[in-house]
Structure 1
Amino acid sequence: MAAAGWVLLGICIGVGGTFLIARNNEKHFNKALNADKDLKRRLKAAMKAARSS
């Protein structure tokens, strides 16, 4: 039972870490692609799709 708890905790930390990295990258991309609205919109759609899957 305790082992399952540790595995679940590890998964939660992994998902949380990935989410934070994705947020930071999104901010960086937003600065880089400020002029290109279409590319920014496509990037947001891709990020949303990656998060939901």
Structure 2
Amino acid sequence: MLSGFAGTETDDVLPTGLLIAVAVQVGQFLARRRAEDLAREPAGARADFTAFGD
């Protein structure tokens, strides 16, 4: 897709804006996923620790 714009003299605002919007969405998704993983981690560690004593 990016190569399609390489030879044209169109305004670069639209492709740049689209790329920024996609990057923002990906960044938000990764932040949510990391927060979910970190929220699950203490519960899993606690379960492992209590099972270790049995």
TM-score (norm 2): 0.60
Instruction: Identify the residue that residue 20 of structure 1 maps to in structure 2.
Output: 35
Bigger-Rg structure (1/2):
2
Segments of 5+ residues of structure 2 without an aligned counterpart are: 1-15
Distance 1:12 1:36 in 2: 36
Q: Quote the RMSD (CA, aligned, Å).
A: 1.3
Identical columns (%): 8
Segments of 5+ residues of structure 1 without an aligned counterpart are: 38-53
> Hey, which of these two has a bigger chunk of helix by percent?
1
Higher relative contact order, structure no. (Cα contacts within 8 Å, ≥ 6 residues apart): 1
